[in-house]
């Protein structure tokens, strides 16, 4: 009985070990940076103003100067959101405007 148990255990172990093997050329996704996608990145050059005065919206302005990271994908548009205070909760964000990215350097104001 013990002999049958040992043989069955070895067969099961060999089956499990062989089933976990991956086949194909490059089986490690971390072996090359080419296995990852390229993203789109904005780089902040400078800020003109970061706070919008809600009490005087007619005269209040905000602005930043950004450029596109040169080794990333092309940026087609930028969506600007506003939020009261500073919150990472995206349910509180309100869409302000969507800008088409015409050039590699853009001043948002």
Checking if the pLDDT of 3 tops 60, the result is yes
The answer, yes or no, to whether residue 108 has pLDDT greater than 60, is: no
pLDDT higher at 23 or 97: 97
107 pLDDT higher than 60: no
pLDDT of 12 higher than 60 = yes
**pLDDT tens-digit series, residues 33-58:** 676 777 788 888 888 887 777 777 77
- Structure pTM? 0.51
User: pLDDT value at position 109?
Assistant: 53
Task: For residue 81, give the H/E element and its range.
Answer: strand 77-82
Average pLDDT over every residue of 73-85 = 82
pLDDT value at position 104? 53
Confidence at 26, pLDDT banded by 50, 70, 90:
low
């Amino acid at each position: 009985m013990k002999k049958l148990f040992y043989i069955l255990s070895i067969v099961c172990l060999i089956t499990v070990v062989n089933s976990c093997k991956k086949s194909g050329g490059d089986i490690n996704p971390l072996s090359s940076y080419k296995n990852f996608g390229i993203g789109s990145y904005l780089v902040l050059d400078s800020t003109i103003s970061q706070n919008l005065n809600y009490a005087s919206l007619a005269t209040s302005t905000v602005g930043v100067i950004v450029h596109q990271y040169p080794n990333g994908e092309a940026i087609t548009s930028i969506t600007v959101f506003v939020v009261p205070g500073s919150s990472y909760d995206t349910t509180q964000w309100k869409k302000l405007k969507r800008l088409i990215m015409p050039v590699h350097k853009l001043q948002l104001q």
